[in-house]
Each structure stands twice: as C-alpha cells, then as structure tokens.
C-alpha cells in the first residue's frame, strides 16, 4: 500500500502504529519526495514523505481505515497495489507478521 504524509514525524507515527498493531509487517518511510497535484481547482506542490506499507490483501481495508484515522490530511492517499510475485519466504514473513483474527466461534445449535 502507498500513502504520503506531510512530515517525517507524522509518517513515523503512522508507520509505528501500523507495525505495532500488526496491520503491517514493515513500512518503508521515504523522504523527501515532491508531490505535484490538483486540489480544489488549483495545482499544488508539496514536499511529503512516502510510506510503503507491506501487508496482506486481507488487511487492506483495515490498514486503509487506520491510516485515515491517524492522518492529518482531509483526503489521505490510500492505494493498494497487488503483489504479482515475490520471494516465497518474504511473503510468508509478511503473512506471519500480520496475523488475521480468528473467525468468530460458531454457535452450537441447542438441542431440545
């Protein structure tokens, strides 16, 4: 997943939360980058920090929600890119570091 932040401090805070909460196995924090974009009818230019979030597909919605909750932007970038291929060992490590919660317990039917 990709997102950007306005400062190194905010990027580090988001990255730490995602890893601490086991939503991401790793977050690369890349700075500085220059973003040129259109916002509310004007072309803007800003120095930002890029976060590359390594997680599993089943965690994408939760990671996106957490990024939006932690972010200072009105509309933070939250983009998921599929992993088409990769080292089996590395992909297994991502899966191990981002465990899924157990499914809810099934209720046993009551007998009469």
Largest CA distance in the chain: 69
Q: Residue 105: what pLDDT?
A: 79
Task: Spell out the per-residue pLDDT of the chain, length 112, in tens.
Answer: 999 999 999 999 999 999 999 999 999 999 999 999 999 999 999 999 999 999 999 999 999 999 999 999 999 999 999 999 999 999 999 999 999 988 887 777 777 6
Q: Computed from CA positions of residues 29, 96, 1, 22, in that sequence, does the dihedral angle turn out positive or negative?
A: negative
pLDDT of residue 26: 98
What is the model's pLDDT at position 33?
98
8 Å CB contact between 21 and 1: no
Cα separation of the two ends of the chain: 51
Which of 28, 112, 14, 6 shows the shortest CA–CA distance to 69? 14
Find, among 60, 39, 58, 87, the residue nearest to 68 by Cα.
60
Domains identified in the chain and CATH numbers: 2-97 (3.30.70.120)
pLDDT (0 to 100) of residue 56:
95
């Amino acid at each position: 997943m990709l997102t950007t932040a306005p400062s190194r401090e905010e990027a580090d805070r988001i990255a730490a939360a995602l890893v601490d909460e086991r939503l991401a196995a790793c977050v690369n924090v890349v700075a500085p980058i220059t973003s040129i974009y259109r916002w509310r009818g004007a072309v803007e230019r800003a120095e930002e920090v890029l976060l590359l979030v390594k997680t599993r597909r089943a965690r994408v919605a939760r990671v996106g929600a957490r990024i939006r909750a932690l972010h200072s932007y009105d509309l933070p970038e939250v983009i998921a890119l599929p992993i088409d291929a990769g080292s089996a060992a590395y992909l297994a490590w991502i899966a191990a570091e981002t465990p899924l919660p157990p499914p809810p317990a099934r209720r046993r039917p009551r007998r009469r």
